[in-house]
Structures are given as structure tokens and as C-alpha cells.
Structure 1
């Protein structure tokens, strides 16, 4: 549209979008001293004509079009005219508003959360870091990301967390609450907040369901071991389930394992610190059954860096639900999880009189203390003996040669 074709003001949105440039720059009046400036190259921007305190007229830019639409430009112009009517310099008040907007942008919950994440991630495994920022981006930032964190009320956090509970993701809700509480703690200890709106909310929320680490009873363990042995789908996942049942490791530790971590000749698996929950290198003895399973797996995935490479991207491990889904296919949904094998191993080994310190070391439950530097090979010789006994014991259970009482209390 040519400027000579304009019939009314304020300028309609269609006029703003189609107004054509001329050989020279020109300004088209929108109304109330607000103008749309059109350059020969087609760029458009808003300007307000105002009188300075010395009585001279000047121009004040209000932003480029279409980033600043007509409605927003008129709103900005009205605010600045009001300031001028009260004796304020529109240029000074515009700068003050800009400074306030920038300060507000730096006080958003997302900005604070990403600062917290950056300070914590160096102490996490890569998996923990991905899960943490993923949960914030998926659940929290869409709701509170652009809010000024000091203005979010405890009641709003309660309503948000309860809405997550209604989706059935109880454990995720608990983790998100813990993250956000720590994020506010960062603001509080650095003098940017005086209270934490998430304090005490856990008293009114559901707790993590026991099924999260579900594990079968003693009577159900032999059939489960036989079902794993006969797993009909992917052979690598069958081997993975068998190793999980035998080694008492965390599912993520096995799923993300690399061939370079294994020494099958020495029957040892060294899990690097960056993949461990406590950021400490961990040594896992491999019973002869595990060594054979790993040799079988090497025929399948030995050409890759990972033991369980992804299907679409072999540089990344299989999905974090791959073992859980396999157990579901075997009919054990809600009855057995990958993590639940750790509970079973702990219970059986404790009931058969193995040293609690050896068991805790195998589970990488070593407590922080004053003893000094953590020893990754702590109790390695008795653990080699213990885990070979455990692998043999599972074989006997699978064959049905052992009958024993119910499992004790799970850890």
C-alpha cells in the first residue's frame, strides 16, 4: 500500500504490514504524536514526537515494527505522554522502564534455576544432569519460568505440584519439588530472597510409591529368572536383564556402560566417577557367569563403544526405560523393576550372613566419613567371593534346587 492510499488513523494492522517504502525516508502519523517511520530499505519503526524540558521538539524511538505492533506502540506512547504531562522527561522515564524490565528479566525463576543448575551439574553424572534440566524444562519453566521468583506464592507451588500428582507421576513430583526448594535456597543464601515458598509443602503432598523399586517375593524369583533366560525379543536386552539380576548395579550404570570400562580377563568392571551417583569411581567384580554373558554380548555390540547402543544413534545408550519395558513384556509390570534387583541381592546376601560392609560396598553405598580418600577397591577380595556365590545361588534358584524363606525387609 502506498502512503497516499491511507484513509484513516490510527493505522490499521493491514496498513502497517503493507505500507510501501519511498525513495526517501518518511514518517506516517498514527495519532497523538506517534509516528511510523519507514526507511527506503523497507525497515519500519515507531517514534514519539515530544517536547523536551527546554521547549525544543525531539523524537523518541519506541521499537521496530513488527516486533512492536501498533497496539503496543500506542500503549508505550500513552505511558510516556502521561510522564511528560507530569513534568517528567519521557527519555528518562523510558530508560528507567527499560532498566526495570531488565532487572525483572534477571529475577525470573528460569534465570535463577539455570544459575542453580550450572553450579550443581559439575557434581552430577551426565544422566542426572540431563534428567534434571529436562524435568525443569518440561514441567516447571512453562508455568513459572517467566515469573519473578520472589512473587510466586506457596499456594501457587502447591497447586502446581498437586496438578503433577494428578498425572500419576508421584516420584517426578517429589524430585521437582526438591529441585525447586534447592533453587530457592540458592536465592536465600545469596541474599536475593528472604524465605523459601516450598518449605513444608512435602507434608501435604503424596510420597513416592513403594512400587518404584518393586521386587518379587522369594517364590516369584525362580520363575522370573527363568523368564529372563527365555526372553523372546532382543538378545542384548535379555543379557542386560540377566546381568542386572546378578551384579546388583543400578540400571543406568549398566545401560550407559562402555566396553572400555571392562576387563574381562581380570573379571572386573570399573565404572568411572562421572557415571556414579556419588561421583566416585566404583569397581564391580564379575562372576564367571557375567563374564560369559559379556562375551556373548560382545559378539552383538562389540563394534560399538557402548554395551547397549541406541537403535537410531549408536553413540547414545538405549532408552532409560528399556529394561523396565522388557520386564513389563515378561508380565512383571508393578512387580519388578531393574533397581529392584539391588534390593533382592541385598536381602539374600544379608540373610546368608555376608558382611554388611561388603554388601554396602558392592551396592556403592559407602558413607561419607572422616576416614579419608575413598578406596574404589574396598573389600574387593571378599566381594569377588561373595558375588560368585550369589551368581551360583541364582543359578540354583533358576534350576529349582533351592527352597528358602521369605525375603526380609528391603532396603
Structure 2
């Protein structure tokens, strides 16, 4: 639009957006001393013409367009005109307002959470950093991101977290609560907050274990097994999910597994003492069924050139994200119904119901017996567990195909 085509003032949004540059810079009056400036290169901005306390006319920039809309520019101009009418210097009051706005923006929960997030980047891999910030942006920032963090009450945090609880995303709720609590701790120890409104909130929320250990019923298991086999995304994740169903280890133990821990000829996986989750001070021997070996052979063709079974995408020296299996199950439609840890519960239930020795099952799950017996019983029942887990793999195959064989104490009935 040419400036000669302007028909009314204040300038409409259509006019502001459509005004074309000229060979020289020009200003168009919007009203009450507010002008819209257009430069030859097309840059547009707002200026206020005002009288200084000394009685001289001067210009004051109010910001570029479209960042500062017409409505916002008129609001700013009205505030500055009022300052001038009261004998104040609009330049000084503008700077004071900018300082106040900057202080307010740095005191929002979003600013605090991002500061806390930045402080942790040295200890996180890229996947973890992205996941944490994503959780905050999805669950917290829409409600509290622009609020002053010192003004958000404990009861408001409780309501936000209970909303996540009602959605059934208990593990995510627990993580988000922890992230936000840590952010407030940063504010507290740096002298910017006295109290942490998230202290004690966890006592009145679900622990998160319901989602950590969620698992489908035995009636739903065949459909889940078929869904996992048809997982359409990353092939290594699909193979990982199938391995979780067969070996009953903790998801972290499989996710962080290294190829040098496996002896496929002996059909044995030795999980070292130092592995995350190994709390018993012993290495854990995991017998591998025919089906597990087959999956590992296939997986080795994909990732065998790396030390890890499941190397990360951005850094091959680190394992995939600790939620990789959980997110895959979520994509399959099993959010809140099945988790990686839940496969251990399924295995325990099926093996106990079919009469296998409790000691053998507990050894497979790497649960230590209580008391002195737990300290000295290092036999691990490897031979018995080898038979048991081959039966279990065959049983799951039967479930998936709809052809189940029932047993009791290892004998077909």
C-alpha cells in the first residue's frame, strides 16, 4: 500500500502491514503524537513525539513492528504521555519500565526452570536434556510459565500435578514434580526464594510406581505381543521390547547392555556388578532362550559394530534414553497400561501360576532372599532357570500365535 492510499487514522492493522517503503524514510501519524516510521529497507517501527520538561520537542522509540503491534504501541504512548503530563521525563520512565519488565521476565517460572535446566546440561546427555525440557514445556509452562515463581502456591502445584495423576501418567507426574522442586531449590539456595512450594506435595500424590510397574492382564498379553512384533519404528527398539518380554530383566539393564557381556554360544548373558540397578553386590547370570539368541543375532547385525546393544542416536558411546522402551509402548497405545518393568511382573505371575519353584523365579528376577540365606545362596539355579526360561519363551510364542500349552511343575498337563 502506498502512503497516499491511507484513508483513516489510527492506522489499521492492514495498513500497518501493507505500507510500502519509499526512497526516503517517512513517518505516518497514528494519532496523539504517535507515529509509524517506515525506512527505505522496509523496516518499520513506532515513535512518540513528546515535549521534554524543558519544553523542547523530542522523539522516543517504542519498538519495532510487528513485534510491537498497533494496540501495544498506543498503550505505551498513553503511559508516556501521562508521565509527561505529570512533569516526568518519558525517556526516564520508559527505561524504568524496561528494567521492571526485565526483572519480571527473569522472575517467571519459565525463566527459573530454564536456568535450572541449563545448570544441569553438563551432567546430562542430549536426549535427557531434550526430554526434561519437553516435559516442562508440555505440562508446566502453559499453566505457570509466565507466572512469578514466588507467587505460585503449593495448592496450585498440587492441582496441576493431580491433573497429570488423573491422566494416568504417574511416572511423568513424578518426574515433573522433581524437576520443578529442583528449580525452586536453585532459587532458594541462591537467595531468590525463601520457601519451596513443592516441599511435602509428594505425600499427597501417587508414588508413580503404578505406572513404573504397570502391566496388562494375561488376557491382554497376546495382543500386546503381536503389537510389539509389528512395531513400525526403530528396528532396534522393536527387538529390545521383544527381548524384555523374554528375559525379565530391568529395562535399564537391557538398555545399557554391552556386547562383550554376551556369550551366544553358551546362551548366557552376564550382567556385571557395576550395572545400574545392581544393588546386591553380585553379577547376574541370565540364561538365554533360543528365541532370545535369535533376536540378539538380528540385533547384532544392526548395532554389533558398537560396544552397546542400544547406542544413542547422537552419541554412540552412550545408551539410548532411559524412556526409550516406555515411549515405544506409548506409541503402540499402551501408555499407563504397560511399561518395560511391567514385563518382570508378567513373567513372575505366569511362572508362579505354572508351578515353577519360587527360588528359581526370584533368582531370575535377581531378587535376593532375606537374611543369611540370601547372603550365602550364590548357586543362582542356572540349570533350572535355563529350562524355565526356555519354557517361558515357548509359552509366549504360543500366546502370540494363539496356541498355549499349560504346564505344572515343568510337566505338561
Task: Answer whether TM exceeds 0.5 for this pair.
Answer: yes
Change (3 A) 1:326 1:240: farther
Q: Secondary structure at the match of 1:115?
A: helix
Preserved CA contact (<8 Å) 1:250 1:338: yes
Q: Secondary structure at the match of 1:9?
A: coil
Please, which runs of 5 or more residues in structure 1 have no aligned partner?
A: 363-378, 405-411
Please, which runs of 5 or more residues in structure 2 have no aligned partner?
A: 370-374, 396-404
Distance apart, 1:270 and its partner CA: 6.2
1:111 and 1:169 map into 2 onto residues whose CA distance is 25
Q: Secondary structure at the match of 2:198?
A: coil
Q: Which residue in 2 is equivalent to 1:320?
A: 325
Q: Which residue in 1 is equivalent to 2:402?
A: none
2:167 and 2:112 map into 1 onto residues whose CA distance is 26
2:161 and 2:147 map into 1 onto residues whose CA distance is 16
CA-based RMSD: 4.9
Q: Which residue in 2 is equivalent to 1:403?
A: 409
Change (3 A) 1:79 1:382: same
Distance apart, 1:165 and its partner CA: 2.8
Q: Please list the CA deviations of residues 127-160 of structure 1 after superposition, one character each: whole Å capped at 9, or x if unmatched.
A: 6555433321221122222222112222322332
Change (3 A) 1:237 1:110: closer
Q: Which residue in 2 is equivalent to 1:372?
A: none
Change (3 A) 1:277 1:66: farther
Structure 1 range deviating more: 156-165 or 238-247: 238-247
Preserved CA contact (<8 Å) 1:21 1:39: yes
1:340 and 1:53 map into 2 onto residues whose CA distance is 74
Describe how 1:161-172 pairs up with structure 2 within 5 A.
Answer: 161-172=161-172
Describe how 1:322-401 pairs up with structure 2 within 5 A.
Answer: 324=329, 337-342=339-344, 351-352=358-359, 359=366, 385-386=380-381, 389-395=384-390
1:238 and 1:3 map into 2 onto residues whose CA distance is 63
Q: Which residue in 2 is equivalent to 1:46?
A: 46
1:151 and 1:290 map into 2 onto residues whose CA distance is 57
Distance apart, 1:42 and its partner CA: 2.5
Q: Secondary structure at the match of 2:192?
A: coil
2:15 and 2:160 map into 1 onto residues whose CA distance is 43
Q: Which residue in 2 is equivalent to 1:297?
A: 296
Distance apart, 1:176 and its partner CA: 2.0
Preserved CA contact (<8 Å) 1:257 1:307: yes
Structure 1 range deviating more: 315-324 or 179-188: 315-324
Give me the TM-score of the superposition, normalised by structure 2: 0.69
Change (3 A) 1:309 1:295: farther
Give me the TM-score of the superposition, normalised by structure 1: 0.70
Q: Which residue in 2 is equivalent to 1:136?
A: 136
Change (3 A) 1:291 1:237: farther
Q: Which residue in 1 is equivalent to 2:83?
A: 83
2:331 and 2:67 map into 1 onto residues whose CA distance is 51
Q: Secondary structure at the match of 1:352?
A: helix
Q: Which residue in 2 is equivalent to 1:370?
A: none
Q: Which residue in 2 is equivalent to 1:152?
A: 152
